[in-house]
Structure 1
Amino acid sequence: MSAKSTSLTLIQGDITEQAVDAVVNAANSSLLGGGGVDGAIHRRGGPEILNECRSLRAAQYGRGLPTGRAVATTAGRLPARWVIHTVGPVHSDSEDRTALLASCYTQSLQVAAGLGARTVAFPAISTGVYRWPVEDAARTAVATVRAAVAASPDAFDEIRFVVFDDRAREAYEAALAAS
């Protein structure tokens, strides 16, 4: 019997409304909320997320979560079971930080697999205030997720890319269409 393949899907919408096992948060290193996706997840998820983030800061991440790493908390009031917080890199014209961006996806999927999450929703990490060009971010995200799925084909049922606007949707459509 052949294994069911992981579905890679694209949705234009609100990541805080995704009914999945794990929602990935494009967090800042403080883990204490911020703007963009991070702020939306903390606002909609409620104080339970912030309380667990504070505990993580006190116990393990006193200096904050390093860029490219990932850690999980409850999803609070979100329609998901967990939030996986990952810190994307700030884009630089003078230094290639692509490996750090890829690590956000790889580490998040490792955390998700460890939790037993079968469905995972990702935002367009680092494309907001961290200024990563969305076309490049989409190529990196899709290539990294495809490689992770190829390495562990039975780990997930669905990995969803959730984007906010038309430009990001078009960039992810192009990345998903490319082989």
Structure 2
Amino acid sequence: MTGIDVVRGDITAQPVDAIVNAANSSLLGGGGVDGAIHRAGGPAILHECRMLRETTLPSGLEAGAAVATTAGDLPARWVIHTVGPVHSAREDRTEILRNCYTRSLRLADFLGARSIAFPLISSGAYGWPLDDAVTQQVSAIRGTDTAVESVTLVAFSADILDLTRRALG
């Protein structure tokens, strides 16, 4: 991997080969990053997600897994959907969170993507503490052997941007 960069902005506007969607297991849209990607990408993304649900994923996408669809009207070529775990104080779900990043990168390799943009997975409605979510994101990406040349971490807020810059050192 050539490099990891962090920007504050809108993941739907990133000029990369693939953007990662912090999806819900239904793959049919929702709030946060998921809703923004479905709205900006148009109906082609939802159509392919529905086809996945009707064929290979009738029960939805499990947490930590990744699947790709078209990016529709987005500047990217693909959307890689991954489902983050809901944070739990009683159960360590760190490996599931890390799998979101590693499996997304492996899928990007399979697709031939050379650039990818990630949101911070599980840090919104799924309640993962921001500092640990950033630590897991950076560590998982740095620890993955990938042909992806450029990773952009898209921070939704100034707090996430600062935490990510510190984690990248």
- TM-score, normalising length from structure 1? 0.93
- SS of 1:32's equivalent in the other structure is coil
* Percent of residue pairs identical: 57
Q: Hey, what does 2:161 align to over in structure 1?
A: 169
- SS of 2:152's equivalent in the other structure is strand
User: Is the counterpart of residue 135 in structure 1 residue 131 in structure 2?
Assistant: yes
- SS of 2:39's equivalent in the other structure is helix
1:170: Cα distance to partner? 1.2
Whichever residue aligns with residue 142 of structure 2, its letter is R
Q: Hey, what does 1:126 align to over in structure 2?
A: 122
Structure 2 stretches lacking a partner, 5+ long: none
Q: Hey, what does 1:96 align to over in structure 2?
A: 92
Q: Hey, what does 2:149 align to over in structure 1?
A: 157
Equivalent in 103, 107, 123 of residue 107 of structure 1: 103
Count residues in correspondence.
169
The within-5 A match list for 1:17-32 is 17-32=13-28
Once residues 126 and 135 of structure 1 are traced to their aligned partners in structure 2, the CA distance between those partners, rounded to angstroms, is 12
Q: Deviations over 1:58-77 (max 9, x none)?
A: 11111110000000000000
Q: Hey, what does 1:76 align to over in structure 2?
A: 72
- SS of 1:25's equivalent in the other structure is strand
Whichever residue aligns with residue 169 of structure 1, its letter is L
Once residues 160 and 52 of structure 2 are traced to their aligned partners in structure 1, the CA distance between those partners, rounded to angstroms, is 32
Structure 1 stretches lacking a partner, 5+ long: none
Q: Deviations over 1:86-130 (max 9, x none)?
A: 000000111110000000001100110000000000000000100
- TM-score, normalising length from structure 2? 0.98
Q: Hey, what does 1:35 align to over in structure 2?
A: 31
Once residues 47 and 81 of structure 1 are traced to their aligned partners in structure 2, the CA distance between those partners, rounded to angstroms, is 15
Whichever residue aligns with residue 126 of structure 1, its letter is S
- SS of 1:83's equivalent in the other structure is strand
Whichever residue aligns with residue 174 of structure 1, its letter is R
Task: Tell me the C-alpha RMSD between the 2 structures.
Answer: 0.7
Larger radius of gyration: 1
Equivalent in 15, 38, 52 of residue 48 of structure 2: 52
1:146: Cα distance to partner? 0.4
Whichever residue aligns with residue 158 of structure 1, its letter is S
